[in-house]
Amino acid sequence: MKCEEIRPWLMAYLDGEIEQREKSEVEKHLADCESCRREYESFARLKEVTNRMRFADLSDQLWAGYWKGVYRRIERGTGWIFLSIGAIILLAFGAYQFFKELLTDPHVSLVVKVGVSACAFGAIVLLVSIIRERLFLFRTERYREVER
């Protein structure tokens, strides 16, 4: 094997994840090639140091509260969803009642009726536009939850 081909196998050899056939080839190459041998030795020294490194653990108190944190956030998320649905239903119903009474009230001038209707129409167009944009972003977002 050439030096370029052997390099990835040096990692498998170093980490003890190599089959006997490849192991013999790597050992033969290392015996013949000083450059690769020096590189392998430097990787071995690096591994020695990284192997000594460990992350400090969290306190028992933090571990004990881990699930509670997850649960609370799930619970709050569910709460917000129901609150939002309820608010949307009430707002939609309120808006419907308001416009129904406004448009059928003979005492309200035509100018006001047209103005309010135009505002309502504009708001609906904006809302639809935002929802459409959000849906497009959701479909094309690179980092949304990955499904495998």
Partner 1 sequence: MVQRMTDEDSDLILMSKKGRMEAFRKLVEKYKKPAFFMALGLVGNRDDAYDLSQEAFIRVYRNLSRFNPRHRFFSWFYAILSNLCKNHLRGRQVREEYVRDRQNTADCGHQENAAPGPDILLEQDEASRRLWQEIERLPFEFREIIVLKNFQGLSYKEISAMLDIPMGTVMSRLYHARKKLKDNLQTADGMRAYEV
Estimate to the nearest angstrom the gap between the alpha carbon of 113 and the chain centroid: 46
Binding segment toward partner 1, per CB under 8 A, in 2-10, 24-32, 98-106, 109-117? 2-10
Site for partner 1 in 56-75 (CB under 8 A): 56, 58, 62-63, 66-67, 69-71, 73-74
Residue (of 31, 28, 38) closest to 1 by Cα position: 28
- Residue placing its CB nearer to partner 1 in the complex, 11 or 128: 11
Give how many residues touch partner 1 by CB under 8 A.
41
Amino acid at 127: L
**Half-sphere exposure for 5 (CA within 13 Å, toward CB):** 6
Q: Does 10 sit near partner 1 (CB under 8 A)?
A: yes
- Burial-class residue 77 by CB neighbours within 10 Å (0-12, 13-18, 19+): exposed
Q: Angle CA(97)–CA(102)–CA(108) in degrees, nearest 5? A: 165
Segment contacting partner 1 by CB under 8 A, of 38-46, 90-98, 109-117, 126-134: 38-46
Footprint of partner 1 (CB under 8 A): 7-12, 15, 17, 38-39, 41-43, 45-47, 49-56, 58, 62-63, 66-67, 69-71, 73-74, 77, 143-148
